[in-house]
Amino acid sequence: MKRERTQVCIIGGGPSGLLLAQLLHTIGVDSVVLEQRSREHVLSRIRAGVLEQGTVSLLHQAGVGARMDAEGFTHDGTLISQGDEMFRIDFTALTGTPVMIYGQTEVTRDLYEAWDACGGRTQFHAENVTIHDADTSAPHVTYRVGDAQHRIDCDFVAGCDGFHGISRKSIPEDRRREYEKVYPFGWLGVLSETPPVNDELIYTNSDRGFALCSMRNAQLSRYYIQCSAHDRVENWPDDEFWAELKRRIPAQTAEALVTGPSVEKSIAPLRSFVTEPMRWGRLFLCGDAAHIVPPTGAKGLNTAASDVHYLFEGLRQHYQDADDEGLDCYSERALTRVWKAERFSWWLSSLMHRFPDQSEFDRKMQIAELDFLRTNEAAQKAMAQNYVGLPY
């Protein structure tokens, strides 16, 4: 068995694992990233593209913000529609803070390039990853690549390997508690090489179901419609998708919509999920390994980034100041912010979607809530504060 040592073993080569690795590099802390899949597979994942300012600042802190600044789009607000009625929430006017539109794939690409440039170690195709002795002062991780067995001794393990990864499952069941809400619908998403229908995102509450008009860049658009949780991509040829999207968005927006062949099409289930605590011994969970939010409100990558912030600060205190206060408080601090993001995503999902068991009274409450949001500045400010990101 090949054996090596590092200070922090990071499981998962997605954006949260790479961001943590890059931040640790800036303070001279050594880490190794283990990824089960190939780099190409990781970069092929299509995810959200709305970045909170806290995430933007962390990327700059990690030294990977240059291309984002050059190619990303600063959005000062968003549009919300119900039927043909549409109104705008002005983030910058209400909070002094915009959001950044820059695809998660591009964030991950930038992080990989920076990690390569500094000689960072990533082991792809790492199979049978197992965390050992996390509840002791000497944890280690074993894995296999092909027929070769490997072992990494380390000070700490960061579990950044997503909802289906092994990190959360490595915490004994009697030491963790899980909270979950599964929504009775999904999002059918289409990526098309067409100009966005609007300069800002449009969230739509329609009698036919939710729709979202989003973008990745000036010639790459991302559109979503609510569909059955049991639906299949094969049931939605491009022409039928575009026709249904036009039925849900305001008429003036539908008239301006440029359609084209899809370059990617997928259905994402909607779920709210949190596990507590996010630490067991010297194992720390980050991002989807610890929590999932529905995509409404685009909090997935941003909550992962806030986890990375709290964990990085704890590790910095440990290595630079010999102080474990940040690590000891990591789970509590991360979960306090996670639950607020969960609340916002739950609220916006409940407001914008049609539910199978929704009564006429429930529908009237949605419409009244939307009208209150349209006409009340305090309600708009509360939404804006949550959307642009609560402070760390």
Residues 190-212 pLDDT 10s: 999 999 999 999 999 999 999 99
- Percentage of residues of the chain with pLDDT beyond 90: 96
pLDDT at 217: 86
Residues 148-192 pLDDT 10s: 999 999 999 999 999 999 999 999 999 999 999 999 999 999 999
Asked if residue 383 is part of any domain, the answer here is no
Asked if residue 353 is part of any domain, the answer here is no
* Structural domain count, the chain: 1
Full domain range(s) for residue 317: 2-72+102-180+271-348
- Could you tell me the pLDDT band of residue 45, with boundaries at 50, 70 and 90? confident
Asked if residue 294 is part of any domain, the answer here is yes
* Tokens matching residue 154: 């380390």
> Is it the case that residue 288 has pLDDT exceeding 90?
yes
Catalytic residue among 15, 139, 196, 295: 295
| Active site (annotated) includes residue 2 | no
Non-local CB neighbours of 261 within 8 Å, separated by 6+ positions: 192, 193, 238
More confident residue, 307 or 83: 307
Taking alpha carbons only, the member of 5, 15, 14 closest to residue 35 is 14
| Active site (annotated) includes residue 330 | no
Asked if residue 257 is part of any domain, the answer here is no
Angle (nearest 5°) at CA 188 between 253 and 179: 120
8-11 and 31-34 strand pairing: parallel
Asked if residue 152 is part of any domain, the answer here is yes
| Active site (annotated) includes residue 294 | no
| Active site (annotated) includes residue 195 | no
Catalytic residue among 25, 291, 299, 318: 299
pTM of the model: 0.96
| Active site (annotated) includes residue 75 | yes
Catalytic residue among 102, 112, 183, 203: 203
Angle (nearest 5°) at CA 103 between 21 and 232: 110
- Could you tell me the pLDDT band of residue 47, with boundaries at 50, 70 and 90? confident
What mean pLDDT value characterizes the chain? 97
Count of Cβ atoms closer than 10 Å to residue 271 Cβ: 15
**CATH (domain of 134):** 3.50.50.60
Q: List, in sequence order, every residue forming a beta bridge with 275; answer none if it has no partner.
A: 178
Asked if residue 388 is part of any domain, the answer here is no
Indicate left, alpha or beta for 200 from its phi (over 0: left) and psi (-120 to 50: alpha): beta
- Could you tell me the pLDDT band of residue 215, with boundaries at 50, 70 and 90? very high
Catalytic residue among 75, 140, 150, 318: 75
Average pLDDT over residues 107-131: 97
Average pLDDT over residues 277-284: 98
